């Protein structure tokens, strides 16, 4: 009985501690801020996708990314912007647009010193959002 109780406790504790580890492994909020700034710089310099951001307030978008990515990494932030479907609905994004964003994000994570295994853990949490963002 006691043994089962301990196993249940371990199972409950595991997801939370794995999340905390990701936020810390990404360098905490300072690491996420550096990654977001480098990735947005990449988007705006990338001829494949830069025009898509032309009408957006990039200061606001940077700030939204920083909170959302903190939340995704398990850092305890609460993202309060638009949900992903609403934010991207009018943009008619393709899988090619999505792949370009992921490539630019990977490049930003390389440049800001996030370890490869940590990058993959973070990208795995973004992957389920693809179907909310890509609409054609
Ligand atoms: C997993 C992938 C993505 C995530 C997590 C994400 C996240 C976000 C967030 C948090 C916002 C701000 C929402 C708000 O409060 O208004 C946003 C806006 C935006 N995203 Fe994404 N995004 C993703 C993919 C993409 C892709 C592939 C593109 C195009 C290449 C894109 C282009 C934009 C644009 C242009 C805006 C600003 C829209 C506006 O001005 O209101 N996003 N995104």
**Where residue 76 sits, what CATH number does that domain have?**
1.10.490.10
101 Cβ closer than 6 Å to some ligand 1 atom: yes
Q: How far is CA 56 from CA 51, 52, 53, 63, 115, in A?
A: 10, 8, 5, 13, 31
Q: What is the pTM of this model?
A: 0.89
Enter the tokens of residue 101.
């964003």
Most ligand 1 atoms within 8 A of CB, residue of 36, 89, 91, 125 to mutate: 91
Cβ proximity of 123 and 83 under 8 Å: no
26 Cβ closer than 6 Å to some ligand 1 atom: no
C-alpha closest to that of 33 among 78, 67, 5: 67
Distance CA 97, CA 26 (A): 25
- Taking only the tens of pLDDT, the chain with its 136 residues reads 455 544 444 444 445 555 579 999 999 999 999 999 999 999 999 999 999 999 999 999 999 999 999 999 999 999 999 999 999 999 999 999 999 999 999 999 999 999 999 999 999 999 999 999 999 8
Distance CA 127, CA 90 (A): 20
For residue 26, the enclosing domain spans 2-133
61 Cβ closer than 6 Å to some ligand 1 atom: yes
């Amino acid at each position: 009985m006691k043994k089962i109780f301990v196993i249940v406790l371990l199972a409950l504790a595991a997801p939370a501690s794995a999340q905390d580890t990701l936020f810390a492994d990404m360098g905490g909020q300072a690491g996420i801020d550096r990654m977001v700034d480098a990735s947005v710089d990449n988007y705006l310099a990338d001829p494949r996708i830069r025009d898509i951001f032309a009408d957006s307030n990039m200061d606001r978008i940077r700030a939204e990314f920083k909170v959302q990515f903190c939340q995704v990494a398990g850092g305890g932030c609460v993202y309060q912007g638009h949900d992903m479907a609403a934010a991207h609905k009018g943009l008619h994004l393709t899988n090619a647009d999505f792949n370009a964003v992921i490539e630019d994000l990977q490049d930003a994570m390389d440049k800001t010193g996030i370890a490869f295994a940590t990058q993959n853990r973070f990208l795995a949490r973004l992957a389920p959002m693809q179907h909310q963002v890509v609409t054609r």
